[in-house]
Structure 1
Amino acid sequence: MSYYYFAASLPMLIPEQPPPFSVESFRHQCASHLGPHDLAAMDELLGGEPAPQPHAFARRWQVADSHLRNAVARTRSERMRKDSGAYTRDVEGVDTSIDRDVADAYSRPTPLEREKAIDRIRWRRLEEIGGLDPFTADAVLAYGVQLTILERWARMDEETGAATVNALVERNPADKEDKS
């Protein structure tokens, strides 16, 4: 199914830029424009219940994301000299390019830069799976997942991060030794 009007009305998403609206607002817009099967897939992709009928795009994305997560688990396990078997899932197919992309991401000097590089891999995979025609259901579904990536980064900032670290340090039982 094609969504010419809806897709044309959506602003362009730019990696590492603030989202133009919230995922919740986007989901509300989807309810007015998507067919039932595509809307159920969108709900699943945005973190809701699994769709009653599997959607081809959602399945392709789950496979691609599992390949990525497995590659991250293997890379992290290698660095810690551990067996990755306990941290990976069985997934159909093989994607050898993902290992190279993740190795490149893990060559970054800071955890923040690594995480951004991994999200850039996700973004590219979503663009590939979404296809070349921006008016298809697949493209709109990819847009929804990309929006979740932008929203996650928008929620992160230095002040919130510092507050979280301080709260964790204050809760640390080792710091509350009995000094009597």
Structure 2
Amino acid sequence: MANQYYLVSQLPDISAAGEKSTLPITEKYYRDLCSRFLDSESLAVLNQLSLEAPRTAVKTGSAFLDKWYEFERCLRYALCQVRAQKMKKDFGPIPVSCTQDIIQAARTAVGMDSPLSAEQFLFEYRINVLNDIQPLDSFSVDAVFAYGIRLMLVERMKKFDKEKGTDSYHKIYDTILGETI
């Protein structure tokens, strides 16, 4: 536990990272730093850390991550179901653990005019859920995992570029219509 105090004290604040500013830490550096302070069991869990939850619930050894992955799995199922309904297709049932809040967030995101707006909405929604379920003990190993999830979410959002996205969209659209340049 003492090592985690040293680890957490070295992790910079990423909560206020602006859209255009660079992050004070990368995921690679975060993982490297953690490898110096965490025990082998916690490090094995950290090495499996991902924004994509396993399709079926698997115990990770972390109460926080189990809760986070259940939320993420439900959100993705809800998004699939809402998209399928929009296309008048059957997706099947979503997990019983999906709350109305998650389903409503999926409906809101799918109903947005632009994919970028939907991604920004889902980013904010995920960050709010992360804030709600993160451990109260800032020096616990679960807090270190929560930091990693937050870092990956922020890094992912920083990769979105409106101009590149628009160009890519037009290229795909033109290819579908057979108007390849």
User: Under a length normalisation based on structure 2, what TM-score does the superposition of the two structures give?
Assistant: 0.76
Kept after mapping to 1: 8 A contact 2:75/2:98: no
- Greater CA deviation, 2-11 or 114-123? 2-11
Counterpart position of 1:14:
15
Q: 1:61 to 1:114 in 2, by over 3 A?
A: same
What's the counterpart of residue 44 of structure 1?
A: 48
Q: Which runs of 5+ in 1 are unaligned?
A: none
Structure 1 position 128 matched with structure 2 position 132: yes
1:174 aligns with 2:181: no
Q: Which amino acid aligns with 2:90?
A: D
| Aligned-residue RMSD, C-alpha | 3.1
Tell me the secondary structure at the aligned position of residue 139 of structure 2.
coil
**Aligned with 2:48: secondary structure?**
helix
**Gap regions ≥5 residues in structure 2:** none
Aligned residues: 171
Amino acid at match of 1:54: T
- Judge conservation of contact 2:12–2:25 (CA < 8 Å) in 1: no
Among 147, 152, 155, which residue is 1:151 paired with? 155
Q: Is the contact between residue 30 and residue 39 of structure 1 (CA under 8 Å) also seen in structure 2? A: yes
Deviation (angstroms), 1:108: 3.4
Matches within 5 A, 1:1-180: 1=1, 3-14=4-15, 17=18, 18-46=22-50, 54-56=60-62, 57-85=64-92, 91=95, 93-162=97-166, 164-165=168-169, 168=172, 174-175=178-179
1:41–1:58 contact (8 Å) kept in structure 2:
no
Taking the aligned partners of 1:169 and 1:104, their CA distance within structure 2 comes to: 24
- Normalised to the residue count of structure 1, the TM-score between the two structures is 0.76
* Cα shift at 1:160: 3.4
Shift in alpha-carbon separation, 1:96–1:24, aligned structure 2, 3 A: same
Measured in 1, the distance between the counterparts of 2:16 and 2:122 equals 12
